[in-house]
Amino acid sequence: MKFRGKAAMLGLALVFALAMPSLAADKGFLWDGSHWKDMTGDLKVAYIKGVGNMADVEVASGSSGRAACISKGFVDELKTKTIGQVVQEVDKYYQDNPQKLTTPVIEVVLLRCTKLCPPEAAATEKKK
């Protein structure tokens, strides 16, 4: 990785470390809409990039099973969108659904920004 890329990754890590110090003391959790609404645009972009990088690594490692399938689908789906578009879709979801602020951000990304999992409405229609 070039120096510039390493510096950018270090910068993102520093932003996360300084921006969310109170969250570091908490046990593991999934970021949800209550966290998302308080994040800066840069942190939102960093979150989406991190999820994308995680998926890229899993796909590149050749892992098998359901997780690898989700990662491959995620990587393929997001090739057609910019990170800004994904951030806007997540923002819109929480703005349109303030009662669902406890929905994890990763769930919103998978349900709303990709076709990997159908939204809740489609899932309930199939059960009829």
Residues 81-123: tens digit of each pLDDT: 888 998 999 999 999 999 999 999 988 887 766 665 555 544 4
Predicted local confidence at residue 76, as pLDDT: 79
End-to-end CA distance of the chain: 52
- Smallest Cα–Cα separation from 44: which of 110, 109, 118? 109
pTM of the shown model: 0.62
Predicted local confidence at residue 74, as pLDDT: 76
56-65, 72-81, 117-126, range with greatest mean pLDDT = 72-81
